[in-house]
Chain A
Amino acid sequence: MTQLIISMIRCATPILLAALGGIICERVGVFNIALEGMMLFGAFFAIYGSYLSGSAWVGALVAMAVCGAVGFIFVELVENLGAEPTITGIGINTLALGMTTYLMKMVFGEGGSISANDRIAGFERVEIPLVKQIPFLGEIFSGYTPLVYITFILVPVLAFWLYRTHMGINLRAVGEEVHAAQAAGLNVNRFRVLGVMGAGMLCGLAGAHLSLGYVTLFSENMTNGRGFFAYVAVVFGKADPVSVMIAALVFGLADTLSTKVQGNGIPSSLVLMLPYVVTILALMVRSTVAKGEKKHFHINLTKEAKE
């Protein structure tokens, strides 16, 4: 049981980190399906940064910087050059897959995956003194890598920022009713550019957790759809940090179960479907609940196309 919870939290972390980025995008009104690609970039560049410097933290910073830049390119294309957000997002995702595979061969001379390299440092686990000694809770709360703690601290921080600060309120106004924000004299473009760059950085961190967190390796298409789960979590949690966290934990659980249940006589292909089945179920539940209720924010593609 404790093992299951611990594993769930670990698996939920990258999804939640990317989803926090997704929340920001949704709240500034940019449809960003490129979370997946940005996360993949993050996973690779975290390894690369760690490989060059020998420090996992430097690796994470490199990942954040690169993904922030990718976010900047994405938002410039979409907001200022009029590119179609879905197409651009798919483009970034495809680019990330191709480019990381290519760079892996170029830099490390290996295809498929890189690991077992002495120069790549992963994150150390943090044992919290005192807490560690509490039975049961100690096991659940102690012993994760720092990124896990950072992620779960970011949830209330982001919630406070969105709902209780001037900047957060302005940002929400931009995403929900852009004309009102403009009329109030807010610089919509700046909010969007900075918001998506911030989202990119969070995705970079998510990637770093994947490649430097519990394993120290990078493999082709390592994110394996987690960025899309993150997006679903954002939609499911209506871009509210706490609800999105719950959604991310559900995905984390599904992810965990799909690995744990394997080898219990159930065909592995069925078990591996679990996260995806959860996604579809989540969306179905969401749209049933949403029926008849007012939508606060939603990036309506057809509406934008009309403008």
Chain B
Amino acid sequence: MNEIIKLEKIEKHFGNVYANKDINLTIMRGDVHSIVGENGAGKSTLMNILYGMVSPDAGNIYYEGKKIEIKSPHDAIALGIGMVHQHFMLVPSFTVMENIVLGLPPRGEKIWRPERFRSEITAIMNDFGLQVDLDTRIENLSVGMKQRVEILKILYRGARVIILDEPTAILTPQETQELFSTIRLLIRNDHTVIFISHKLREVMEISDKISALRDGVLIDTVKREDVSAKDVAYMMIGRELEPLQRTGMDGEKEICLQVADLKAGDTTHAAIENISFCLHKGEILGVAGVEGNGQSTLVDTIVGALGTDSGNIVFDGEDITDCSIGERMEKGIGHIPEDRMTEGLALPLSAEKNLILGIQRKEPIRKKGRINWKEAERISEELIQAFSVKIKSRKESVANLSGGNMQKIVVARELNREPKLVIACQPTRGVDIGSSKYIRECLLEVKKKGGSVLLVSADLDEIQELSDRIIVMYDGRISGILEAQEATEVKLGELMFGRG
């Protein structure tokens, strides 16, 4: 085995903040080398440097022993370095084949004849077990298939080193296993894989080597055999992580939310149909499923952002099907939206203003028709303290905060209203491990106090860790409701695909 890529003293800073500091990293040919670290640890910056999207301030890159400069992704591809981004770079209405050959030199022809490429692509598909129907349009493919197309795309361009940026974040457990077998085939065919992730279980399963980054510094590179998952977690966050304390449900089973035969959907919402379930007081109900199977539609109908076609929603004994968003909030529904940047926060406004949003029209914030800023200060300072939000002052605009701290502001605001029902959508997406754990604890706290949580998440670990019962959605319908004990990963995965 020999080294294929060597990074030497790589340094990159944005403003006064070091994204990467004095990073030395060697990648060996034929390895699956995982790069782990929390958000903001510098993983993406490092990979973007390697892929030519960001230029380093200092340091050298060697490829097969030769010192090189990578100025653009084009250079990287020419060297044989390919990257599969978290967001797919595919044209939805084009076929798989069209996407694979898009942008390649037309080989002297002006007329589009993708057929010429078919045999070459088929050969690659067979070599790596990446079967995809070349004539299907991308928009009709599942996420896992789209990822395959991305991998095919870079393989077709001759990539020998493949960077996968958080590839499993959007996959079902089965799809993850398929990806892993692809990775193993790649390695067998003398390719090298750089695997970026923060899912310890997966990292431990697939890696040969593991490098951990924290605050822009490379903490260590270790061989997988030599360490345990706990050690890797320690490398990533610099301290031990206690497991969550979960409590079971109490004996009483009063209903908090009842959804009956719900049907909804419009141009921007995937259609849902035949949705019936109930959520008890003191219960966390998980909603699992591959994204885009109607979860957001369901959430929007419950919070009141989308009307229903038929069916009704009963909250705390009251039919709220025709209530406005404001009325529902008033009755005690809290909402942690999926996208904190656009739905959760008013980005340019200060943390203080964001924290009092929703209660600004009520005592004690409202005083003689005006806002009582003293009270706003008290409440916001209290919440910033309680949720240990890292912020310079309450007056700072939330746009400057990291994802984890932004999310804490959303959670703090919603829980401060002491809702009877919290609808939490992807509450820890893109949030670092420490804050994730804190947010999850908050949700468990809601439950302990007798509140209910509807937890919609693409992260199966999170769903399994928190939920008392789990609903799985597939193609706009509920494909199964499971008790937490019986919800194995395999069972969930099957339901997520509509089988089972």
Contacts and interface: CB of A to CB of B under 8 A. Distances in A.
A complexed with B: yes
Interface of A: 163-170, 172-173, 176-177, 179-186, 290-292, 294, 296-297, 306
20 contacts: A164-B111, A165-B110, A166-B110, A169-B112, A172-B91, A173-B94, A176-B91, A176-B92, A176-B93, A180-B89, A180-B102, A181-B91, A182-B89, A183-B85, A183-B103, A186-B103, A292-B265, A292-B267, A294-B92, A294-B139
Nearest to A294: B139
A170 B92 contact: no
B103 A181 contact: yes
Contacts of B87: 179
Contacts of B94: 169, 172-173, 176
Given A168-B112, A186-B103, A180 B266 contact: no
Contact of B111 (A166, A179, A180): A166
Given A165-B111, A170-B102, 7 more contacts: A164-B111, A166-B112, A170-B103, A173-B102, A180-B91, A181-B103, A290-B267
Interface of A, helix, strand, loop or mixed by DSSP? helix
A180 B99 contact: yes
B109 A185 contact: no
Contacts of B93: 172, 176, 296-297
Contact of A165 (B89, B90, B99, B112): B112
Contact of B73 (A172, A183, A292): A183
Interface in B129-152: 139
Contacts of A166: 106, 109-112
Interface of B, helix, strand, loop or mixed by DSSP? loop
Given A183-B73, A296-B92, A169 B110 contact: no
Nearest to A160: B111
A294 B110 CA distance: 30
A292 B272 CA distance: 12
Interface residues of B, number: 27
Contacts of B414: none
A304 to B, nearest CB: 13
Contacts of A173: 91, 94, 102-103
A166 B107 CA distance: 10
B230 interface: no
Nearest to B342: A306
Contacts of A296: 92-93, 139
Nearest to A168: B112
B331 to A, nearest CB: 30
Interface in B150-170: none
Contacts of A180: 88-91, 99, 102
A287 B150 CA distance: 33
B402 to A, nearest CB: 19
A256 to B, nearest CB: 33
B300 interface: no
B193 to A, nearest CB: 19
A184 B99 CA distance: 9
Interface in B248-274: 265-267, 271
Nearest to A163: B112
Nearest to B107: A166
Contacts of A183: 73, 85, 89, 103
Contact of B103 (A184, A294, A297): A184
Contacts of A294: 92, 139
B149 to A, nearest CB: 11
Interface string B376-392: 00000000000000000
B305 to A, nearest CB: 15
A70 to B, nearest CB: 29
B109 A292 contact: no
A290 B268 CA distance: 11
